[in-house]
Amino acid sequence: MAKLQAMTAFGARDPRVGRVGALTVNERSDIALASVAIRRGRDLTASAAAAGVPLPGPARHLSGTPCSAFWVTPEMWFVEAPFASHEDLAAHLKAAMGDAASITEQTDAWVILDLAAPDLAPLLERLSNVDFPAAPKGFATRTVIDHLGCYLIKHGPGSVRLYGPRSSAQSLWHAIEVAAASVW
């Protein structure tokens, strides 16, 4: 019988780390992800709270215990949790929310990159149309980076999490490196 081993979005066993000038980019393979959409006529308030899932408003990200979430569209969120304790996040959420929500496993569909630098504004103005300096901490939005639909979450002026399509992980990484080289 074959023994399978998990691989990152870049085809390695360990998450990728890169540095360009002041920028550090860390691939995150330790986060489980699932989408949660409210079914018509249902209310998720009680079951989401019981599951430890915050339900932020438009363009927001909220951290909670054990889960964090960011708004995707009206009545839909992406929920994040530590992979070590929530490897099957979708099943955990389905058990907690029952038939009030449609839940889809998303972990292996996205590459997750954490970007850190003293000031990310010059980099992000080259990569996306997000007015990063004006965005508050906890801002979450869908944007386009190098022709790729991505989610951007602002954790602070020097900290961003990007979700990009896993199948285009290398293209997203390259776009970040090229833009960073023009800044630093």
DSSP of 80-106: EEETTT-TTHHHHHHHHHGGGEEEEE-
Instruction: Name the residue among 86, 85, 107, 90 with its Cα closest to residue 36.
Output: 90
Give the phi and the psi of residue 168 in degrees, each rounded to 5.
Answer: -115, 25
CA angle, 60 then 62 then 64, to 5°: 165
Q: What superfamily does domain 17-29+109-183 belong to in CATH?
A: Probable tRNA modification gtpase trme; domain 1 (3.30.1360.120)
Distances (CA, A) of 105 to 42, 68, 94, 121, 137: 21, 15, 10, 32, 27
Sequence-distant (6+) residues with CB within 8 A of 87 are 32
Q: What superfamily does domain 31-108 belong to in CATH?
A: Heterotetrameric sarcosine oxidase (3.30.70.1520)
- The distance in angstroms from the start CA to the end CA of the chain is 49
**Would you list the domain boundaries of the chain?**
17-29+109-183, 31-108
List the pLDDT tens digit at each of the 184 positions of the chain: 778 888 999 999 999 999 999 999 999 999 999 999 999 999 988 889 888 899 999 999 999 888 999 999 999 999 999 999 999 999 999 999 999 999 999 999 999 999 999 999 999 999 999 999 999 999 999 999 999 999 999 999 999 999 999 999 999 999 999 999 999 8
Taking residue 54's Cβ as centre, other Cβ atoms within 10 Å add up to 18
